[in-house]
């Protein structure tokens, strides 16, 4: 497993070693000892989430506020998605910046998202399966979000806005500027 920096403080791409033979492929998607040794901080994942999305579904940008913030380890196991992370930590040198990556089945890539970042993804294929580990349990009262098409963030989702499928809740998320108030 190799770590690559993303340009956001503490957010990393993990490239897993893929072993392939006549039977197919194998890779170790998570190993606590190796993960923490590379990250150099302890992370205790307590919840796994699994979503299945139709092509065009955009989920996000979501986060949980203190004291229920979550670090996440995300990957796509079927289909393909554009994954976006926004640094919302006001004291961070990368505050207000975002990182975007395309994740797909079989690519052997995961993304580590530290606490204090908003996260979302766009499914590029039908039945895209997205799996993520969280180091804090879901807490409904702490759930927050930022509008996916916020003009200050200028995220290029690489899709026609009319083709996007969003939940009613995600359509009503506040702007990035609202975080600053």
Q: Catalytic residue positions?
A: 62, 132
- CA distance readout (Å), 102 to 106, 124, 157: 12, 9, 10
Which CB contacts under 8 angstroms, 24+ apart, belong to 155-164?
A: 155/84, 155/86, 155/98, 155/100, 156/100, 157/58, 157/82, 157/84, 157/122, 158/82, 158/122, 159/56, 159/58, 159/122, 163/56, 164/56, 164/57, 164/58, 164/122
Residue 51, helix vs strand vs coil: strand
Cα atoms in the Cβ-side hemisphere of radius 13 Å centred on 96: 11
Cα atoms in the Cβ-side hemisphere of radius 13 Å centred on 168: 0
User: Which secondary structure element, helix H or strand E, spans residue 178, and what is its range?
Assistant: helix 176-180
């Amino acid at each position: 497993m190799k770590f690559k920096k993303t340009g956001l403080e503490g957010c990393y791409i993990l490239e897993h070693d893929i072993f392939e033979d006549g039977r197919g492929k194998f890779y170790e998607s998570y190993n606590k000892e190796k993960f923490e040794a590379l990250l150099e901080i302890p992370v205790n994942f307590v919840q796994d989430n699994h979503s299945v999305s139709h092509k065009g579904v955009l989920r996000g940008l979501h986060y949980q506020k203190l004291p229920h913030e979550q670090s996440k380890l995300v990957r796509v196991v079927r289909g393909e998605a554009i994954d976006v992370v926004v640094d919302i930590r006001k004291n961070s040198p990368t505050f207000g910046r975002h990182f975007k990556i395309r994740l797909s089945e079989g690519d052997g890539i995961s993304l580590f998202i530290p606490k204090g970042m908003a996260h979302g993804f766009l499914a590029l294929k039908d039945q895209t399966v997205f799996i993520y580990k969280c180091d804090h349990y879901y807490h409904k009262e702490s759930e927050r979000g930022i509008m996916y098409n916020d003009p200050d963030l200028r995220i290029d989702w690489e899709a026609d806005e009319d083709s996007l499928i969003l939940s009613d809740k995600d359509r009503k998320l506040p702007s990035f500027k609202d975080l600053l108030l």
